[in-house]
């Protein structure tokens, strides 16, 4: 007596392989559509035009001989500025992670009596590479550099165009 087709191994083997491929493609489609890529900028044209403005701020920092000393210990950021900036001027400090947008920090800092800018972070910075940007509140000058955390003592950041 001959067995029915569904009782054999080979028909099921030939059916399961394409079903696995379909399931994997549906899962890949779900992964691709579930979240937007945060590294892609929607208004890339405006960002490109703003690039030239960015260069003037960096050049102005070089002309002003701006330099910053950064330390980061016990979740506290401390910055001392040297250069021709206005005394007591507030600054914007941004720590942007190259790949994790949710880890970015933007700090508005004011100088204390000794001229140091200090601020304690609510969420500590993770170890690794960061893009650091220090700029005047009025956008007159800017210093930027890629840094690596943790910092042992102090990090000297010079204005470069």
Domain boundaries, the chain: 66-158
Q: Which residues contact 156 (CB under 8 A, 6 or more apart)?
A: 67, 68, 69
Residue 42: its pLDDT value, please? 64
What secondary structure letter does DSSP report for 86? P
Residue 35: its pLDDT value, please? 75
Q: How far apart, in Å, are the Cα atoms of 17 and each of 4, 13, 21, 23?
A: 21, 6, 6, 10
Residue 92: its pLDDT value, please? 94
Run means of pLDDT, 10 residues per run, the chain, 161 residues: 89 94 95 74 63 76 90 91 80 91 91 88 91 90 91 87 63
Residue 41: its pLDDT value, please? 59
pTM: 0.67
Residue 44: its pLDDT value, please? 63
Name the fold adopted by 66-158: Immunoglobulin-like (2.60.40)
């Amino acid at each position: 007596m001959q067995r029915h087709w569904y009782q054999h191994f080979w028909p099921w083997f030939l059916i399961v392989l394409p079903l696995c491929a379909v399931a994997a493609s549906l899962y890949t489609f779900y992964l691709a559509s579930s979240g937007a890529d945060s590294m892609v900028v929607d208004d890339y044209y405006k960002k490109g035009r703003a690039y030239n403005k960015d260069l003037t701020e960096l050049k102005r920092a070089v002309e002003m001989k701006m330099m910053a000393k950064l330390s980061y210990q016990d979740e506290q950021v401390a910055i001392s500025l040297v250069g021709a900036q206005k005394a007591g001027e507030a600054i914007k400090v941004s720590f942007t992670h190259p790949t994790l947008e949710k880890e970015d920090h933007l700090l508005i800092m004011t100088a204390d009596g000794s001229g140091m800018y200090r601020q304690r972070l609510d969420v500590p910075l993770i170890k690794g590479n960061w893009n650091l940007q220090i700029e005047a509140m009025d956008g007159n000058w800017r210093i930027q550099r890629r840094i690596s955390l943790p910092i042992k003592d102090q990090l000297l950041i010079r204005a470069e165009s």
